[in-house]
Amino acid sequence: MCYSKVFLLFISLFCSLSITFASVSTPINQQGLNVNSVNQQKSVQQASEWGLTTEEWNRYTALMEGERGIWSPNLDPLTTLGIEAKTEEEKVKYARMLAKRFRARVLKEIEFDKIYRQEYEKMYPEETAFSVEPHISKSVGRVIYFTRLDNCDSCKADLGKILSHVNSQTPIDMFIVGDNISDEAIRKWAKENHIDASKVQRKLITLNHDNGYWFKYSFGKMPAAYQVRGDGQWQALTY
């Protein structure tokens, strides 16, 4: 009789523990399912923002977890997938998608940049010694010149050559290539490189943010100079 009571007590305790474990494990399993669901929704949203399928987005994230992520940690999805594409057809596809997004981005930046400069000139009209222009010239005969403020060993020496090549009768539009470059940084660069302030005031020299023109016209060459022909086309300049 005593053994029977002990056995029944053991069975009762075992069942209560099983119920307890089940009640504890269920929320944990549910929590894992919720996390997976949130991650999946996030992946779908991010893929959609870049015009990709979920499978393409998963391939991008997998690539960024490997060598590509170490080499290029901030590379965008379209460039990453294009570089690592397995077929020529895929490369063309991602290149076209990137071109469309880049164009849309540049147009928005140019539009905002124009408004920003208009408001800046209203607020600080006295700062005109080295005015930074918001446009790209289409005037016949003007020289279009692309350069960088830094990370370009040949740019500084080449700047002297192009300034010697153009004379007081040949206007030159200088476009500074790079991200997050302020007007003040361009003015400082102009002073350090002895850009003639009087020519800037007379528009014989203009200082401009690139805003994507270098990428569009120069195909990666840096520095690069062109002259606007009579038909409006740009001709590479030898100097």
Q: What is the pLDDT of residues 149-172, one digit of tens each?
A: 988 888 988 998 888 887 767 889
Residue 209 contacts residue 113 (beta carbons within 8 Å): yes
* Of 13-27, 150-164, 184-198, the least confident: 13-27
Pure H helices in the chain: 2-49, 54-64, 67-71, 77-83, 88-123, 155-165, 183-192, 197-201, 213-217
Q: What is the pLDDT of residues 45-101, one digit of tens each?
A: 999 999 999 999 999 999 999 999 998 888 899 999 999 999 999 999 999 999 999
pLDDT of amino acid 145:
92
Report the alpha-carbon distance of residue 227 to residue 238 in Å, rounded.
10
- Please give the residue that has the higher pLDDT: either 44 or 141: 44
Assign 225 to helix, strand or coil.
strand
CA angle 139, 143, 146 (to 5 degrees): 120
pLDDT of amino acid 210:
85
Domain with CATH 3.40.30.10 in the chain: 129-236
Cα torsion angle, 180, 152, 189, 198, sign = negative
Amino acid found at 161 = K
pLDDT of amino acid 32:
55
Max CA pair span of the chain: 118
- Please give the residue that has the higher pLDDT: either 175 or 27: 175
Write the DSSP assignment of 172-201 as a string of letters.
EEEEEESSS--HHHHHHHHHHTT--HHHHH
pLDDT of amino acid 17:
44
Query: Burial level of 83, CB count in 10 A (0-12/13-18/19+)?
Result: middle
Mean pLDDT of 32-49: 74
Q: What CATH number does domain 129-236 carry, 3.40.30.10, 1.10.3720.10, 2.40.50.100, 3.30.230.10?
A: 3.40.30.10
Q: Is the pLDDT of residue 148 over 70?
A: yes
